[in-house]
Amino acid sequence: MTRIVLGVGASHSTLMNTHWEETVHKDEAGRFRDALYAARDRIAAARPDTVVLVGSNHFRGFWLDLIPSFTIGVGECVASGESGTPKGPQPVDEELARHVAGSLVEGGRFDVAFSARLQIDHGQSHAIQYLLAGLDVRIVPIVVNVFAPPLPTLARCDALGRAVREAVEAFPGERRVAVIGSGGLSHRLPWPDWRSPDGEDEEFMVRAWLDGRNNWQDYDARRREIIRAARAAINPEFDDAFLAMVEKGELHRITAYTTERLEEAAGNGAQEVRTWLVMAAALGHVPGRRLAYEAVPEWLTGMAVAVIEPENHGRVPA
């Protein structure tokens, strides 16, 4: 019997790797990093065989020539390795991944895209680096479009998580499965709406997103300069309310937000909370536990870690 045994939500930032020494808020950064390691220990203790890894893509695997709402990696998976994150092939549980993709489509729930040669970036590899370090697990990568509007609605992401849960539990093999949602919380990136760029920097970004499939490295230096010049726009009040929903098992309430309202409240980078929502829905929205929340302006982001342990609520047999 296959069961989902743990859920983890965690923010990510490549600036952890590239600008740790320049980070002024060292205490906050250290507490967040410690929480990642604590979550990694919880994953190890749950003994998963496979991790369903839900993340975003920052225009290194998907480009404006093709942007699916949801994509499942069902074959090769290669991490781009930017900014000190893992690089190269990642181990995929192809049997489970293909079962999930097929179940979603054949059940009439989701016409998901799939990739037999998926490229991921730090939207997922940051989690591999910090949450799966040293663990012998395979992954089922799921990429959610959170940066190229029109975005999938939050309600649709919640429905995806529920459908993934059903598909995983219907898998005929024996698996212990953890689910990770990587991204968020509140932050604003200097990234334009690709449909209406305003000014030279925004036009550059859109051109990079359109043309960068085979040469994204050529655009990366200026891209990072633009990001590093951005001013932090963190909303701790939104983040606290979001984490309270996780703790109460009520993250489905976030579906009341439209894409526009979410950006107004917490920045365009907060669209990544869709990955947490998929994760929480896959865990049946049982109450979770906050391990850390730190506002780190140098990383532009409200950084959080939370875990959902369904066996504490009688959902998973010992």
Selection from 289, 291, 279 nearest residue 254 by Cα: 279
**203 in helix, strand or coil?**
helix
What are the catalytic residues?
122, 187
Which residue's entry shows tokens 């649709």?
A: 156
Helix H or strand E segment including 219? helix 217-228
Angle at 55 between CA 52 and CA 61, to 5 degrees: 115
| ∠ CA 18-20-24, rounded to 5° | 135
Contacts of 216 (CB under 8 A, 6+ apart): 59, 60, 80, 208
Of 162, 133, 179, 173, the closest CA to residue 284 belongs to: 162
Write phi, then psi, for 278 (nearest 5 degrees). Answer: -60, -45
User: Which run of H or E residues covers position 114?
Assistant: strand 113-120
**Number of CB atoms found within 10 A of residue 18's CB:** 15
